[in-house]
Chains A and B, each alone.
Chain A
Amino acid sequence: MFKPRLTIPALMALLAPSGALASSHREAPFITKNPKADATDFYIFKSYEPGRQDYVTIIANYQPFQEPYGGPNFFNMDPEAIYELNVDNDGDAKEDLTFRFRFDTQLKDLAVDAGGKKTSVPLVNIGPVSVNDASNQNVTESYTVQVRRPGKNEDVTNWKDGSKVFAKPLDYVGTKSLGAPEQYEAYAKAHVHDIKIPGCEAQGRVFVGQRKESFAVNLGVTFDLVNAPASIVAGGTTREARSLAPSSLDENNVTSIALELPVACLKGGKGDIVGAWTAASVRQVRIVNPRSTYELPSFEGGAWTQISRLSNPLVNELVIGLKDKDLFNNSKPKDDAQFADYVTNPSLPELLEVLFGSAGVVAPNVFPRADLVAAFLTGVPDVNANGSTAEMQRLNTALPATEKGKQNSLGAAACFVEGVLKLDNAGCDPAGFPNGRRPGDDVVDIALRVSMGYLLPKASAPSGQIAFTDATLQEDSQFDAVFPYLTTPLPGAP
């Protein structure tokens, strides 16, 4: 007579191990073969550094699960890939502004005298490295940035000297090589470059380098719920209850591409709302060189082919079905209608109901889930909807930033009461996720709550007001107050 909506085999498939889960770390089968092009997190927010209220910061993190001691090669970016930050400023789900990053690696081939012979060293440095003395650095990295508008591609240049090439700091090999964390941070900050962006009057800033992993999640609780006390998962009513567990990613680093842009430049004379996402592409063909050299381990050619795409956290991770995850990474926002069912009929709430239904947790009963369409695909009317139906982070640049120390880690979600926007609601912080995303926005808790119907009326979502949490807190106090906001990476050796 009645058929269960989710069968046990389907549930088992849902819970089958599929690699480590985080925001978008190794989230699709093919990208696991291309870690250097694997986007892990994406942020866009009004800059909250004092005095930078007329700027927007965009950050894309790449290369997941970096163990700080991952030498001797550490985590250079791929010279055979392009990394892009895309902006749609007219609501057609197509990029109007793209910042394309390309990297280059240079080997000095430092050698030491060994029994009268000069022997090449196997390490990236053979002594201390600092801003003023890179003589011991065997491998250096640099990059270029191109700003691409329809029909026009131009180089971004250094504001001070007009150079088109920017230096990237060496990864934090260890304290003997690069000093204590505060010294490494000073070294890294020397690689924040003021930039001139063609077509923009005011200067911007760019930084690319290693940072401490900025995403926080309790994988055990979130993705292996069967072993988690239910009272923890549904108990996030206080800050303490949301901070019971350390982040599973607490010992990792990432590589960040951070760009700060004048708001006016981003908008391009159009509306206040911009959509943004990152993507990485490689050449379609790779032929492995059977006689590899450092400069030419393979021959790569053909069309640039996108293999990584990221905007909202957890989308390809938790929303898109396994069979379509690689396709999602190939796709562009303008073609997102093909993935609509994953948003309108999501699986995560059904799983939560199975886990905690015995206590009265009920998945929302309205389909299609228009609330999730608003959160992920269209933006929220009167806040950050921009006319398109496509998965991207949308930021209303007219809304002011909230300074560090006053941000609500539940972001703009706290501005809604049973789906009704109330900007005077206690804790409402319209400058946070899903109006863009700041580093301190606790997107796991927000996603759990929104997926269970936080934005829906009570009649449609009986459990929509339960304080679901992964018990790992993410908040602004964990990040810097100045660009690039993400913090000093962990050293390879203390």
Chain B
Amino acid sequence: MRFLLLLLIAGCSEAHAVAPKKAKLPLGEQLVREASARPKRAVRPEQLIEALAAKGVTIARHRQVLASPVEASYCEALTTAQGLGLALCEYADADAAANGRAQSKRAFDRLIPGRALDTNANSLLTVTAAGNDEGERQRELARRTFAALQPR
């Protein structure tokens, strides 16, 4: 009888256990959680930074940014010295990346016009609209460079 009761309690506990919702975490904790949950293989922001540097485009700053708005596992924002903005997000798999791209277009295309969104395997690159000719050149270079990178 006691054993049955324990089983019942254990069953109830299991039924009511709820994983913490990401959206309810403080921002700092959410970023920590996302940084620790990067997929094992992806085209990484670090790769893009290195590849662009080899082609003469300097990333002036980069930082982890919140991934949940585009349903990604992990994201970084990068800005070139000339002010072009990029975001590289990693997803669990290619399908998730495609869904993330669709979600980003659905939520933000009207609000942030002129963006270009490309997927490569399970990664998504978002490039903002360029403000001038040099920005436009960098934008196309960044897209081509990203497309040529291999997940690692």
Contact = CB atoms under 8 A, between A and B. Distances in A.
Query: Do A and B associate with each other?
Result: yes
Interface stretch (A78-86, A132-140, A302-310, A457-465): A457-465
Contacts of B28: 8-9, 11-12, 15
Contacts of B29: 12
A360 B128 contact: yes
A358 B72 contact: yes
A430 B61 CA distance: 37
Interface string B19-40: 0000111111111100000000
A226 interface: yes
A318 interface: no
Nearest to A10: B28
Contacts, number: 138
Nearest to B135: A459
A208 interface: no
Interface string A452-483: 00000111101100110000000000000000
Contacts of B83: 362, 365, 459-460, 462
Contact of B126 (A358, A460, A463): A358
B9 to A, nearest CB: 33
B65 A355 contact: yes
Given A15-B27, A359-B107, A354 B112 contact: no
Nearest to A237: B111
Contacts of A2: 49, 59, 61-62
Contact of A226 (B26, B60, B112): B26
Contacts of B76: 357
Interface string A337-356: 00000000000000001111
A466 B128 contact: no
A357 B66 contact: yes
Interface in B6-26: 23-26
The majority secondary structure among interface residues of chain A is loop
B27 A234 contact: no
A457 B70 CA distance: 27
A8 B36 CA distance: 13
Contacts of B107: 229-231, 359
Nearest to A350: B63
B79 interface: yes
Nearest to B24: A227
Interface string B127-148: 1110110010000000000000
Contacts of A357: 63, 65-66, 75-77, 85, 87
A362 B126 contact: no
A12 B89 contact: no
B131 A458 contact: yes
B65 A12 contact: no
Given A2-B59, A4-B64, A355-B65, A234 B31 contact: no
Contacts of B126: 358-360
A397 to B, nearest CB: 37
Contacts of B132: 459
A231 B108 contact: yes
A230 B69 contact: yes
A358 B77 contact: yes
A315 B77 CA distance: 27
A357 B87 CA distance: 7
A365 B63 CA distance: 14
Nearest to B62: A2
B84 A462 contact: yes
A230 B107 CA distance: 8
Nearest to B70: A358
A33 interface: no
B70 A359 contact: yes
A466 B110 CA distance: 10
Contacts of B61: 2, 4-5, 365
B75 A235 contact: no
A327 B22 CA distance: 37
User: Which 5 pairs from chain A and chain B are nearest by CB?
Assistant: A357-B65, A12-B28, A357-B77, A362-B85, A459-B131
Interface of B: 23-32, 49, 59-70, 72, 75-77, 79, 82-87, 89, 104, 107-108, 110-112, 115, 126-129, 131-132, 135
28 contacts: A2-B61, A5-B63, A6-B63, A9-B28, A11-B27, A12-B26, A12-B29, A227-B23, A229-B107, A237-B110, A353-B65, A354-B65, A355-B66, A357-B77, A358-B68, A358-B72, A359-B104, A359-B107, A360-B87, A360-B108, A361-B112, A365-B60, A365-B79, A459-B132, A462-B128, A463-B85, A466-B111, A467-B111
